[in-house]
Amino acid sequence: MGQDVQIRHIAPTDWDGITALEAAVYTENDLSEGRAALESKAQASPDTCFVLDHDQRTVGYLLALPYPMYQYPDLTRQEQRAFHSDNLHLHDIVIAESFRGRGFAKRLLGRLTATARAQRYERISLIAVAGSDTFWSANGYRVHDEVELPASYGKNAMYMSRAV
């Protein structure tokens, strides 16, 4: 990955950077959750949440937490409890625009998958938003049309999953 870029667990000092990245990507589509909601997802499962760090600057992140299959976090509220589930829900992954196209999202996914395997999760689920389903399909995720999603996830959002 290079000495100047590393994947590590989220530290308290990372939240300003994470919040700024999240707002830059999601505000335009009315999908931004805000800092408190993002932090609550990471607090539910700190071992499955990561940042991409470049020269002590957060340039990407991934938030995942145990969630029952075919269910998903509410974007309008904070997580109040951690679920015990054999499904790990990839809630969010963002790479700074200047770092896209270099394979960092796949590297974060690789780290998540290795962690999920080590922690004995059976599946990883997610909600593809803003046309990202093509990326997820190319990475082995399949659509579950039977899962209805609220409007808060945006038009054409899709629930997807894959085996670990």
> Taking the domains of the chain in order of start, what are their residue ranges?
5-163
Nearest to 164 by CA among 51, 79, 41, 69: 69
The superfamily (CATH) of domain 5-163 is Gcn5-related N-acetyltransferase (GNAT) (3.40.630.30)
Global pTM reads 0.94
pLDDT of 1 above 50 = no
Residue 60: Cβ-neighbour burial (10 angstroms; 0-12, 13-18, 19+): buried
Indicate if the pLDDT at residue 14 is higher than 80: yes
* 58: β partners: 53
Task: Round the average pLDDT of the chain to a whole number and report it.
Answer: 94
Residue 111: which H helix or E strand, with range? helix 104-118
pLDDT category at 3 given cuts 50, 70, 90 is: low
Quick one: average pLDDT of 55-59?
93
Q: Kindly report, residue by residue over 107-159, the tens digit of the pLDDT.
A: 999 999 999 999 999 999 999 999 999 999 999 999 999 999 999 999 899 99
Residue 82 pLDDT: 81
Amino acid at 141: Y
User: What CA–CA distance (Å, rounded) separates 122 from 71?
Assistant: 15
| DSSP one-letter code for 87 | E
Residue 114 and residue 99 in contact, taking contact as beta carbons nearer than 8 Å: no
Question: What CA–CA distances, in Å, run from 147 to 29, 99, 122, 158?
Answer: 21, 33, 19, 8
Residue type, position 65, single letter: L
Amino acid at position 11, single letter: A
Torsion of CA 115, 159, 146, 144, to 10 degrees: -60
